[in-house]
Every structure is written in C-alpha cells, then in structure tokens.
Amino acid sequence: MRLNFSDDMKEILEEFLIEADEILSGLDQDLIELEENPEDKDLLNKIFRGMHTLKGGAGFLGLTSVVEIAHKIEDIFNKLRNDELKLTSEMMDIIFEGVDKLKESIQMIKESEEIPDEEDIKGLLEKLESILSGGEILEAEVVNNGNLNEEESDLQFLEGVDEDIKNLIRQYPGKDLGEILEELILLPPDERPSIEVIEKLEKIISEGKDVKDLIKQKKEEPEQQPEVEGSKPVVKEDKPRANKKNELIKRKKTEKKEEVIRVDVERVEVLMNLVGELVLDRNRIVKLASGLETSCESTETIEELLDSITGMSRTVSDLQDAVMKLRMQPVKKVFSKFPRIVRDLAKKLNKKVNLVLEGEDTEIDRSILDKLEDPLIHLVRNAIDHGIESPEERIKAGKPEIGTVKLSAYQEGDRIIIAIEDDGKGIDVEKVKKKAVEKGLITPEQAENISDKEAFELLFMPGFSTAEQVSDVSGRGVGMDVVASTIHSLRGTIEVESELGEGTKFIMKLPLTVAIIRTLMVGANSRIFAIPLYSVVEIVRYEPDKVKNIGQFKSFMLRDEVYLLFSLNELFDMTDKKEKQFIVIVRVGEKNIAISVEELFGEEEIVIKPLGKLLENVQGIAGATITGDGKVVLIVDTNSLINDKKSQLVGVL
C-alpha cells in the first residue's frame, strides 16, 4: 500500500521511524532474554510499552498494517504481564514473526513509502490472534480456580475426552481442532502421530465439536473478566491511563533527546576529510618549522612562530581525536543482532547454543562496523553449523550439552580485537590439508611441510570450503575467502586458532579508524610508495651476502631467522633498476616477509583516498594519498600484494 505524506507529516514520519528503529532494535535481545526468564515482569512491561508507543505513532500516521500487528503483540504482552497467558516457545516464534514483519514494514516505509497490504499480514494476524484466543481459554481457567499456580492453569478436560486428543490440544494451545489437524498433516511423516489419532480428530471435527466443547468452562464470557479482576484491567478499558503513561515515557525521551543531536553521516564525512587535510598541512608546517629552526638564526619572531606552531599542532591533534570520536559507535549495534541469529539457527539445526557477548561497549569507526556485520554473521553461522556438535554428540564427548559461542570485542592500542570463539569440534588440520590438495591449492609435498597455523590459513584461500555438503545455513556461496578479503580491505587481519575436539577461535584485528593511517614512505624505481606501519615489523639495511637463493625464491637471513625476500618492484611486476638499500620486514597473515626497497623516506601520517571505481580492485594497492607538494603516493596493501604468490609460498619457509 502506498502512502502519501505532506511535508509536515514527513517530519513526524521521520521522528516516528527513528523511534520505531530504537524500539525494534532492542526488541530481539529483550525477547530472547524473556525466553530464558518468561516471568520477568520488567521485561514484559518494557516490551508492552514499546509496542504501545509504536502502535500510537503508527496510528497517528495511518500506517494501518503496523498498527494492527503492534496492537496484537501489545495485547499478547498485556496478557503475559497480567499472568493471563503463559509464554511458550511456539508463541515466541509467532511473536518473532510479528516483530520481523514490523521491521520489514518500517524498512518498506523508509525505502519506498509503502506498507505491506492487508493481504500480506492476514496470516500473521490470524496467528497472533490464535495466541490471544488461546489465552482467553486459559484466562477463564485461571479465574475459575482463583489461583495462578502453573500446574493448575493447565486445561481441564470434560470427562470422556480421548487422551491423545487431550495431548494434542495441550500441544497446540490456542488452535482449534481444524487448525491442529492441518498442523499434523504438515508435519514430516516420522513426526506425525499415528493414523488412528488423526482419524479420532477427524471424527470429533465431523461431529461439529471444537476445543471449547471438550474442556470445562464455568465462566463463559471472558469479556467480563476485567470486572472480576479489577486489579488487572485489560488495556482497552484503560486507555486514559495507558496514554498518560505513554506521555510520561515520551517526555522522558524528549528530555534525553536534548543532549543528543542527529547529524547526517555525510556531514561528518566532510568534516573528517577536512580534518585529514588539516593534519597533513600541520605535518608539513611542523617539518618546515624545524627546517627553519636549524637554518636560521634564532630571533624572537622565530621563537614565537615555533611556539604558536606547537600550540596549533596540539590543537589539531585534539581536533582530529574529537572528530574521530564522532564516527565511533559501540559494537553493540552489530552484536545485538546475534542473540536472534543464534537462537533461530540453533533451533533450525537442533543444537543447543548459549551465546555470550563481551565488550559490547567497545567503540569502532562506523564505516568499519557497517562492513563487519556480514563477516561476523558468516563466522557465527559457521561456528554453529560446523563447530558446535549436536547435544547427543556433545554428551558423548563428555562436554556440556549446551554449546557456547562467545563474541567479544576489546581495544588493544590503536586496534580493535574482535573474536568469535566456540567450544565445538574444532578444525581437523589433516582434513583441511587433504581438501586443499584435492582442490589443487597446494601440492601434496607442501601439505606435508606446513604448520597447523599455515594450514588454517588455507581456509581463507579462494575456492576452499570444508563443509562436506553445502548446507543452506553456511554455504551461501560466500566463503571464508570473502570474509578474509573484507577484513583485509578494512586493513585488518584475521587469524584462526583451533584445537581438535576443543573448539575454534577466529581473531580479527581491526584499525580504530579508516581515514588516517601512519605509513612508512619507501622508494622503488624512483617512485614513492607508502607502506602502512601496522604491517611493518622491522627495517634493516640491505646486505647482499645475507641473500640466498632457495628454489625459485630468494631468502634473507636476519639474526637466526630466514625470511623470503622479494623486491617491491618484482611484486609490482616492474623491472629492477637500482641498487637495493633497505629491507622492510612486513607481516602478511602468519608470515613475515622481507621486501627490498631502494630508498627510505621515513614515517608519515597520511589520509587515505580511494582510487575511484575504475581502479577499485588493483592488487597490492590499498588507495592513495596526496603529499604536501601535491604529488600522488600509492599506499601498498601488503596482503593482496603477495596474493598471487601465496599458494606457491605455502610451506616454503
């Protein structure tokens, strides 16, 4: 259904969408917590209020389908918090479905100013309604007994009702017999009850009877219930009070809003870029000033100039920090999606998984965070699909029945470490090697010579997948190679640690921010390249007598270590012209590699600029920067630089 809003309404709509996002984004987490603590009154109230607010806002804007879904969920939670309904796993699934539809609707409004048609949500509303009507039966029961005890609230059947039928009704609360029959027919054959039971059910239905005819009902009209239980009014009769409460919540929110302003990301981007330029200018001025200091005789003017440059320099650094912080967001934004993903997946795969989140408040650059979501989802899916064993297997292996997946984040210096850890079956190194040989990624000789660490690295190679069968859970065509290349494109690293039978841990190290990095400026073929400092391990003088040939490669001896040696020119397919002067040891994945260069210009802080779409995927180049004198310097991406040599390198050193 298309919506049409005037400009005034559009503003209100924007506000509503932001509010809706806030409500819905916290909801998954709340619901999963609720599933563990179904009696938690605070949570129940919180969800109820959220739905109520959503319904109110959507009603004002005439978003009918949103109103209807939110209204039904609100009613369910009203009953739950008043103990008129007991939460079951089946109900939870339906509620999740409802929440998903709400999210989908909000997304539709944002993208195309449309909401789902009545037809699209009809089925969902019926399901939600069935929870409510199931609740009414229960509710009557509760009132009759005047007792909220759980055992007592079970259904009381009339005499002479078949035991199997009783069980079915208990199993499918809130459904009428026709629906139960449908459910049974849809079950896979091995889960379906025997044909006798189905026949019995059909017989009762053909007699025109339904669930309500089979259970004891002293109280026929649930509508009267609020009067009987004055202390627990249903929401409809309590509109004024609910509204007042709602206003209160709203007021609280506006109070909070005054401390927060929402800024267009693009404006922050522009600001960031300008600060980047300013940092470069600062660096240049500082350099010039120190030149001035040595070449000129010290006068008072120069002293003052140097002082003010020092002051400005400090302010620029502070400004850079402050602007950088604007772009920081807690990883919670992405982590909060996982309880739901883990729950759904564990259910689907019949596994028991406990998700532990750690360091959710750790902050990271927004643009990195956004790109991190897919790799993380992929890794968590992998952990549950291939890592965690089924409950039976786990018990057999002497492990706790419930598997654990831990997602953690913390800051270490100027890097953010994000780890995904499971206590599943671990990665079988031999299997990995076998597969890599089968796929032609490495030779059998290489397979024999490589360490476990190196073998795990094979997982990230294009064309590798250990899953025996492509399951619809993790095998979606995106493999670990895509995960690795995404992390590398963010100038991060990824490592695997795994112990067979104990579990697997993926560790990602990411930069705090994307825009500015520290680099080492080197010269090759009279051209300048910038190597990011985070991948530089050591810089030493080039000594020809320490270079040896090993097979098709060269090696460089440093202290007791042997490193593979390449010249930067050769890695870039350029011809070597000049004498090598220096060797830069860089870290690439698990290995350190020596790269020889002709000149060394020292360290410099630079602003990364993209090369544009035409040159998006050039191997070995992460981007470029513009130096103080207006020249373009290319930034080396050490990881992709040796990419096409990687498979030959496995096991060489």
Partner 1 sequence: MSEIEVLGLREIKKEVSTEERLITFYLNDELIGVNIKDVIKITKDMDITPVPKTKDYILGVMNLRGNIIPVVSLKKKFNLKGKDNLEHPMIVVVETDLGHIGITVDRVEGAININPEEIQPPPMNSIGIDPEFIDGVIMIEDSSGKKELLTLLNIKKIFRSENL
Contacting residues toward partner 1, per CB under 8 A: 277, 527, 572-574, 609-615, 618-621, 624, 626, 630-634
For residues 328 and 571, what is the distance between their CA atoms, to the nearest angstrom?
35
Distance in Å, CB of 527 to partner 1, minimum: 7
Q: Compute the least distance from the CB of residue 297 to partner 1, in Å.
A: 36
Q: Which is nearer to partner 1, 346 or 624 (CB)?
A: 624
Q: Which is nearer to partner 1, 300 or 616 (CB)?
A: 616
Task: Identify the residue whose tokens are 């206590």.
Answer: 423
Considering the complex, state which of residue 134 and residue 276 has its C-beta at the smaller distance from partner 1. Answer: 276
Angle, helices 89-112/64-81, rounded to nearest 10 degrees: 150
**Whether residue 266 lies in the annotated active site:** no
The residue annotated as part of the active site, out of 78, 82, 382, 569, is 382
* 111 tagged catalytic: no
Nearer to partner 1, 44 or 636 (CB): 636
| Phi and psi torsions of 412, nearest 5° | -135, 105
- Provide the minimum distance between the beta carbon of 612 and partner 1 in the complex, in angstroms, as a whole number: 4
Please say which residue, 444 or 610, places its beta carbon nearer to partner 1: 610
CB of 605 to partner 1, least distance (A): 17
- 3-class DSSP string for 296-343: CCCCHHHHHHHHHHHHHHHHHHHHHHHHHHHCEEECHHHHCCHHHHHH
- One-character DSSP codes across 425-439: S---HHHHHHHHHHT
The residue to which tokens 């002082």 are assigned:
307
Q: Nearer Cβ to partner 1, position 291 or 628?
A: 628
Helix crossing, 64-81 with 41-61: angle to 10°? 160
For residues 626 and 313, what is the distance between their CA atoms, to the nearest angstrom?
A: 20
- What's the one-letter identity of residue 523? G
Distance between CA 3 and CA 346 in Å, rounded? 38
CB atoms within 10 A of CB 240: 8
Q: Which of 52, 378, 386, 488 is catalytic?
A: 52
* Burial group, residue 474, by CB count within 10 angstroms (0-12, 13-18, 19+): buried
Give yes or no: 82 in active site. no
Measured in residues, the chain has a length of 653
- Phi, psi torsion values for 497, nearest 5 degrees: -125, 135
CB 510 within 8 A of CB 416: yes
Q: How far is the CB of 643 from partner 1 (least distance, A)?
A: 10
Sheet holding 632-636, edge to edge: 599-607, 516-524, 527-532, 632-636, 621-626
Q: State which residue, 248 or 574, has the beta carbon closest to partner 1.
A: 574
Closest Cα partner for 588 from 538, 536, 647, 632? 536
Q: Which residues are catalytic?
A: 52, 74, 382
